[in-house]
Structure 1
Amino acid sequence: MVKITFVESNGTEHPCEGESGMTLMEVAIKNDIKAISADCGGACACATCHVYVRPDWQDKTGQANDLEEDMLDFAVHVKDNSRLSCQIKVTDDLDGIVVDMPENQY
């Protein structure tokens, strides 16, 4: 299992575990992380699973593709390290990753 920590904008941490092959969004939903609503179910058709990947993890999560970049246009408070958690696959290399969540997804 891969350890993943989701951090709310108020600093509350939610340590979780996910299996390789899942997405960060699926891990969040499975662990009832309320700040990730994932309205489209992971189809990269909304921006309600928006997270901020901390700089020390960006190389391991990779870059957003064009479709994800387009969907991020609908997210609020987008930053250089913004990603959609539905587009980040859990791998063993992500063990220990910490992602921050925006104050809201709308």
Structure 2
Amino acid sequence: MNTNDKGLRISADIIGTNNGTDVYKLIKRGDVNKMSFAFTVKSERTEVDKENRIYTRTIIVFDKIYDVAVVDFSAYDGISMQARSKEYFIDLEKDLQEKQRRKRLLLMTYL
């Protein structure tokens, strides 16, 4: 689990039980596509629009993230998730390595 400029990124090893398999299939099909997590905040920014009664809290740095879970309804808009297999990432890494190899060969050809 880590954070970046787009948000929280997690990976999970899903156990091959009936519940684990069912949840994975629901995520993969898109029936369940939200996450929930508990956290403490290290740095944040608050904006208040009194006229429209809008309170906006922007988390700049998380202190600690706890208890990440798959849910039907998340507390925050804009949260989504999707399932990808381990093979997807292995293939992605192989493609990246092949592109880098071709780039090196191309550079060697012109040097």
TM-score where L is the length of structure 2: 0.22
Between 1 and 2, higher relative CO (CA 8 Å, sep ≥ 6) is seen in 1
Relative to its length, the structure with more helix (as a share) is: 2
Relative to its length, the structure with more strand (as a share) is: 2
Larger Rg: 2
